[in-house]
Amino acid sequence: MSKCFALVSTAVALALAGCGDASDDLAPEARLARLNRPNLVLLIVDTLRADWLEPYGYSEPVSPELQSWASRGIVFERALAQSSWTKMSMASLFTSLWPRTHGVELSTDGLGEGALLLAEILRDAGYATAAVQSNGWLEQSFGFQQGFDHYVFPRAWSVKQFSSAWPHRDRVLEEASRLLEAHDPERPLFLYLHFMDVHEYASPPEFRTFGNHERGFYLAAIRWVDEALRHVQEMLAERDMLEDTVVVFASDHGEAFGENQAYGHAYNVFSPVLRVPLVVKLPFDVPARRVRTQVRNIDIAPTLLDLAGVAIPEGFEGSSLVPLMFGPEPEVDRVSYASLRAHIMLDSELQTAVNDGSWTLVRNLDEDGEEHLFDLAVDPREDANIIDLEPDRADQMRKLLDAHERTGTRAGVNREDVRIDPKIAERLRAVGYLQ
Amino acid sequence: MSARVLACTLASAAVLTGCGVDREDRSARERFDQAVEDRDPVRARAAAVDLGRELPDTPEAVIEVARLLSEIGEMNRAHWMLREARSRHPDRVDLTLGLAETSIRIGDAAGALAALEGFPEGAQQAAYAEVLRARAHVELGKFEEALAILERGQERFEEPSLLRLERIDLLEDERRFEEALSTVREIQEDPTAPDTMYDWLALKEIDLVYAAEGPEASLALLDVLWAEDSSSVEVATRRTSRLVQLTRAPEALADLSAALEAHPEATGLYAVAARAAIAAGDLDTAEALLRRHVESDASAASLRNLALFLNQRGRSAEAAELLADLPEISDPAQRIELHYLAIALRIEAGDLAAARHSVEEFGREYPRNPRLGYLQARLDLAEGNAEAAAAKLSEVLTRLDRPDVKHLLAVALERQGDHAGAEVRYGLAAQENPQQIPSLLGLLRTLEAQGKWERAADVAARVIRIAPADPSAYQALARAQIALDRPDEVETLLRGHMARHPGLPGPRVALSFALRRQGRAAEALAVLDEAEAEQARRAELSAERAVVLGQLGRVSEAFDVLEATEAAEPSTRALRHARIYLLFASGRGEEGLAAAERAAETSGDDPAPHRMSADFLASRGRFEEAVAPYRRALDRAADAEVAFRLGVALERSGRDPEAIAAYRQAIEIDEKAVGPRNNLALALSRTGATREALEMAQSAYARAETDPVVMDTLAVLYIESGLSRRGVALLEKARRSDSESGEIAYHLALAYRDEARRDEARALLMELDARLGPGHALREPVDAALASLR
């Protein structure tokens, strides 16, 4: 009798064990394949360079939250933005088009009705779409709000006696919380949050523990925004959304601290200012995965669509990163193009560039047309221009870049002569542009 | 006042009315009001959050709380509160309008349009709804559509004033001044337009004419208004401003004086007249006017104006006395402002005991006012406690984010030796207030201290544009240009300054310095000789003369100049430096070292005596002895060149790890430095850190790709890293640039040899063999290399 009971007990125990979520036992790839219209959260931290983050090898504790995500998610070690200027870069990210194709180049350019943005595609597929951002270059008159049900710009509204809150992080989070609160759980959500604190080197005094200098303030701002990741996670958890949400952490461009004799961004398109973080946190933890293949920001939109199970438009020039997330990596890096074609800053160098993962060719677009060739294996900072020392390689890269430059701008994507609202212009000037 | 504000005054009173705040909210409301009175944004925000935490019961209460939240910048909170309330009361037009307005303000123009859909046409606020629709379209970049909405509205509504005013504002923002003017004139000619708008329209017309046609055209209109009513402060202010622009300040002053005689009750004209007097350069009249203003109306404004004027003329103590007995002022904000100003003036005047007493009084009266922290910090700084001041100001900055606070924090950081931190703060203060000369001068000092010469030159040029009479900027510019090796620009600039300020020795000394740096010592002496006798006896000029004479080989004369000057005036740093220089230059090295030691004891923070000693010792090959004085010089002033020379001295003493640290320090001080990068690359290579050595050599090449020494270093490291073909190509390039360099030729020969290009290698080595003397450092290596090829 006891043996019988034991056997039955064992059987029951085994059955009960099997009654848990069977997907937990599946390999990550399989779990990924079984995602069903997950919520998608895109976190963009403006002006964030990858190499000063812990998942990218930085030794100081500037990004413990991101490091925690990286240990349970996927880190793309070599991601490149398509410009060192927000508007151009984000236009590429949202349309999955090269700057050459979308044609948004000038301060008065914007995305026209002919542009097909990620948010529009997701909304048409039944997603609720919401955004909170405070970069004047992405203001709604420039067309970036297309496809969003809510596109909130929590402005720093100054009244004479009181200056508005620094830093921006908490305002973005506050609005994000309200949007999540108002969200209909029956629909999947695409939420885009854009943080400006690092752009302005802003953080509360208690975060300024990295030195009383520009680099220290920049690092403190990173630490401040890093904490936002925990808040985002908590907000999602409070609403039982965490296990149905993919979060992508990225940046529109980096920031130079002397590389190529530049400080800041929107001065050139050498790779140091284009290297950005790209970390994907899936709804389930995975063993830390690091993808070495070079990827681009134009791959983010197709990736999110792929994860959402939505067809990727043929016109997209980027490709989904899902095949790279697990399994063997391809040997060939994804070629990346970047450009800066207007004097966003007084002394911006107008340039176009190609980076094939091993070499970079940067061409000045002014009269002299000077070219720069860099061997990334020994010169990742792109210091030594060896154009005259490696003529064969230079020719190869020129062919790539020339072919790219010959492709035209796609009609209807760019809208010219957008009026810049004086209040926005004032705000842009306050953060260094339009001088 | 913009049309929008006027429009809101006309329309919004009906929208955001009501005072139905619930009993439970009263304490939060009281806290909010108290915080506003105390001018404490942190507490105001906290109270507002409490107010807004739960939706008030009535729409009126919602609107009231939303208004409060908007006033303190919590626009998003206000928006969400209105949104929630409107979902519960969809028929309330006031909630709809509030929601639409806040939607626009938070950047959700599409949301505003959605909220306004179906707004009842016959509603009282329908015109304002159209205004908001137009604004939403502007936000979406649809400007012409916005104008079309306003035009249609003007035809629809019996009272179209709101829409017309909005149109004026939009056109003005768009710089379509003629069209805006046309709208203004249209209203002026409309007999049905409210009389209340007349004055506002008249001034708006003047402003638009000014924008469209310039000061003379607007002055013509102002003259008409002035003739009608010369007691109007608004007209007087604009008219004076235009006259000053047209360099007719004396005329403005005369007119205002006459107006004051005719209208003694128009006391507001005194301040305008004082501004005209200042612009005309008649400071005594300006002071008299400001005093008459105080006598006729001892208000906060009149007292403040006079006190600030006296302070600017260097009479801070007098200004502080003026505010010692403050009159009864009912407006709490003005009272606080004057009390604060009185304390600040006491600190400026150096009356610290009285200032501290006043700060304590201020603290008792306004314990939560953020200016208290600022005043305490100012006092700390004045009493020499920079660290305490900096800590206090860092905290104050979060609550009182103003350029003067940033400036003071910069001063505190600079006093502590944190030049980098001070640079950031001075820069932020100057950015917010571009005319703030002290912040710009502070920025200059910190840039110089860090060797950031390019930026220093830019900032100095900026100061010169804003304040051409300030001599310190010329000298800073000269120092920067000299450091950047741009002597021609320096000369032109300084000669201009000498002509403008013949009584100042500074520019003459700077010009002499610039000329002798170019090897034009005779011309430098001529410049000094041109100085008037009285100026010539000044220590700075004498010291410079002594150095120039020394450079011309007239050492005995140079010492005579020094002796004569030191007999008449106390010794200065410049004189001591000149003596040290002359002793070293005339071969009296040990005496020079002794003089440097005495000079260092006299002025402990002066780096120059240590540097001069170190340079002398290094020049004699006494590198080990040079290390200590180089370090002492570096301790006193961050100087990239000194750090570099220290590195060289350490390297030549066989102390590679310390040399590496010194080179790194040089790069940190001046990131443009090439020499330290090059030498660091070689030192790292010797320690086996090939990868880092290569990175450093590449970074040197990025900054000086035509420098053959830099090319040589990089090429050698390419070869060591296995990139032989590239290294050879670079060595060939270096050799084309400098065909005389033995090092380059030697390295290239070895590279050819290793690439099995033996004939080319041999040819190069034989050429070297023929050129090098027996004691040359490359003699043995060349011989060995040739032997290896046989």
- Inter-chain contact A150–B108, Cβ cutoff 8 Å? yes
* Residues contacting residue A271 through CB under 8 Å, at least 6 positions apart: A80, A353, A355, A360, A374, A376, A380, A382
ipTM score over 0.90, yes or no? no
| B236, pLDDT greater than 90 | yes
What DSSP element (H or E) covers A267? none
pLDDT tens-digit series, residues B327-358: 677 777 777 778 888 888 888 888 888 889 98
How far apart, in whole angstroms, are the C-alpha atoms of residue B8 and residue B131?
Answer: 10
List the one residue out of B644, B742, B649, B632 whose CA is nearest residue B700.
Answer: B644
- Inter-chain contact B73–A164, Cβ cutoff 8 Å? yes
Q: Please give the average per-residue pLDDT across B59-72, as a whole number.
A: 82
Confidence tier at A4 by pLDDT (50, 70, 90): very low
Confidence tier at B19 by pLDDT (50, 70, 90): very low
Confidence tier at A20 by pLDDT (50, 70, 90): very low
List the one residue out of B443, B449, B374, B377 whose CA is nearest residue B417.
Answer: B449
Q: For residues B668 and B634, is the Cβ–Cβ distance under 8 A? A: no
Confidence tier at B155 by pLDDT (50, 70, 90): confident
Lowest mean pLDDT: which of A405-409, B399-403, B611-615? B399-403
Q: Which residues of B touch A420 (CB under 8 A)?
A: none
Q: Rounded to a whole number, what is the distance in Å from the CA of B49 to chain A's nearest CA? A: 12
- Whole-angstrom distance between the N-terminal and C-terminal Cα of chain B? 93
- Inter-chain contact A162–B72, Cβ cutoff 8 Å? yes
Specify the pLDDT at position B241: 87
Lowest mean pLDDT: which of A312-316, B8-12, B576-580, B784-788? B8-12
Q: Which residues of A touch B107 (CB under 8 A)?
A: 139-140, 151-155
| B685, pLDDT greater than 90 | yes
| B164, pLDDT greater than 50 | yes
| B468, pLDDT greater than 70 | no
Q: Which residues span the domain enclosing B23?
A: 1-212
Token duo for residue B415? 């006093």
The CB-based long-range contact list for B253-260 (8 Å cut-off, 24+ gap) reads B253/B277, B253/B280, B253/B282, B253/B285, B255/B226, B255/B230, B258/B230, B259/B230, B259/B231
pLDDT tens-digit series, residues B397-427: 766 767 888 898 898 888 877 777 788 788 8
DSSP string, B574-614: HHHHHHHHHHHHTT-HHHHHHHHHHHHHHSTT--HHHHHHH
| B656, pLDDT greater than 70 | yes
The model's pTM is: 0.76
> Is B131 inside any structural domain?
yes
Q: Rounded to a whole number, what is the distance in Å from the CA of B41 to chain A's nearest CA? A: 6
Give the phi and the psi of residue B109 in degrees, each rounded to 5: -65, -35
pLDDT tens-digit series, residues B691-748: 999 999 999 999 999 999 999 999 999 999 999 999 999 999 999 999 999 999 999 9
Specify the pLDDT at position A18: 41
Confidence tier at B8 by pLDDT (50, 70, 90): very low
Q: For residues B177 and B170, is the Cβ–Cβ distance under 8 A? A: no
* Residues contacting residue A3 through CB under 8 Å, at least 6 positions apart: none
Specify the pLDDT at position B328: 72
Q: Which residues of B touch A152 (CB under 8 A)?
A: 76, 106-108
How many domains is chain B partitioned into structurally?
Answer: 1
Q: Please give the average per-residue pLDDT across B32-36, as a whole number.
A: 75
- Inter-chain contact B75–A163, Cβ cutoff 8 Å? no
> Is B300 inside any structural domain?
no
> Is B746 inside any structural domain?
no
- Inter-chain contact B110–A381, Cβ cutoff 8 Å? no
Q: Rounded to a whole number, what is the distance in Å from the CA of B395 to chain A's nearest CA? A: 7
Q: Please give the average per-residue pLDDT across B268-293, as a whole number.
A: 90
Token duo for residue B624? 């080990």
Q: Please give the average per-residue pLDDT across B682-688, as a whole number.
A: 95
How far apart, in whole angstroms, are the C-alpha atoms of residue A307 and residue A313?
Answer: 14
- Whole-angstrom distance between the N-terminal and C-terminal Cα of chain A? 89
Provide the percentage of residues in chain A whose pLDDT is more than 90.
65
Q: Which residues of A touch B106 (CB under 8 A)?
A: 152-155
- Inter-chain contact B702–A384, Cβ cutoff 8 Å? yes
Q: Rounded to a whole number, what is the distance in Å from the CA of A315 to chain B's nearest CA? A: 27
Say which CATH class A30-430 falls into: alpha beta
- How high is the mean pLDDT of chain B? 85
| A1, pLDDT greater than 90 | no
- Inter-chain contact B702–A258, Cβ cutoff 8 Å? no
pLDDT tens-digit series, residues A220-236: 999 999 999 999 999 99
- Inter-chain contact A142–B141, Cβ cutoff 8 Å? yes
> Is B218 inside any structural domain?
no
Residue A114: CB atoms within 10 Å: 12
pLDDT tens-digit series, residues A186-206: 999 999 999 998 988 888 778
pLDDT tens-digit series, residues A287-318: 999 999 999 999 999 999 999 999 999 999 99
What is the arrangement of strands in the sheet containing A359-364, beginning at the earlier edge strand? A336-340, A351-355, A359-364, A371-375
> Is B49 inside any structural domain?
yes
| B2, pLDDT greater than 50 | no
pLDDT tens-digit series, residues B485-497: 887 888 888 888 7
List the one residue out of A86, A371, A434, A137 whose CA is nearest residue A254.
Answer: A86
Confidence tier at A3 by pLDDT (50, 70, 90): very low
Domain ranges of chain A: 30-430
Cis peptide before A167 (omega within 30 of 0): yes
- Inter-chain contact A150–B76, Cβ cutoff 8 Å? no
Q: Rounded to a whole number, what is the distance in Å from the CA of A384 to chain B's nearest CA? A: 5
Lowest mean pLDDT: which of A352-366, A374-388, B36-50, B288-302? B36-50
Q: Which residues of B touch A157 (CB under 8 A)?
A: 70, 73, 75, 105
| B15, pLDDT greater than 70 | no
Specify the pLDDT at position B534: 62
Q: Which residues of A touch B45 (CB under 8 A)?
A: 162, 165
> Is B25 inside any structural domain?
yes
Q: Rounded to a whole number, what is the distance in Å from the CA of A20 to chain B's nearest CA? A: 41
- Inter-chain contact A178–B694, Cβ cutoff 8 Å? no
Confidence tier at B42 by pLDDT (50, 70, 90): low
- Inter-chain contact B139–A204, Cβ cutoff 8 Å? no
Provide the percentage of residues in chain B whose pLDDT is more than 90.
39
Q: What is the CATH number of the domain that holds B176?
A: 1.25.40.10
| A409, pLDDT greater than 70 | yes
- Inter-chain contact B401–A163, Cβ cutoff 8 Å? yes
Specify the pLDDT at position B545: 92
Q: Which residues of A touch B71 (CB under 8 A)?
A: 159
| A169, pLDDT greater than 80 | yes
Compute CA distances A4 → A9, A14, A18, A356, B517, whole Å: 8, 15, 21, 67, 105
> Is B500 inside any structural domain?
no
Specify the pLDDT at position A423: 66
How far apart, in whole angstroms, are the C-alpha atoms of residue A279 and residue A48?
Answer: 13
Specify the pLDDT at position A13: 39
CA angle B738/B744/B750 to nearest 5° reads: 150
How far apart, in whole angstroms, are the C-alpha atoms of residue B218 and residue B205?
Answer: 8
List the one residue out of A57, A86, A83, A89 whose CA is nearest residue A70.
Answer: A57
> HSE of B197 in the Cβ direction (CA atoms, 13 Å)?
27
| A154, pLDDT greater than 80 | no
How far apart, in whole angstroms, are the C-alpha atoms of residue B563 and residue A327?
Answer: 85
Task: Answer with the residue of higher pLDDT: B85 or B392.
Answer: B85
Specify the pLDDT at position B121: 84
Q: Which residues of B touch A389 (CB under 8 A)?
A: 726, 729-730, 733
| B3, pLDDT greater than 80 | no
How far apart, in whole angstroms, are the C-alpha atoms of residue B538 and residue B569?
Answer: 8
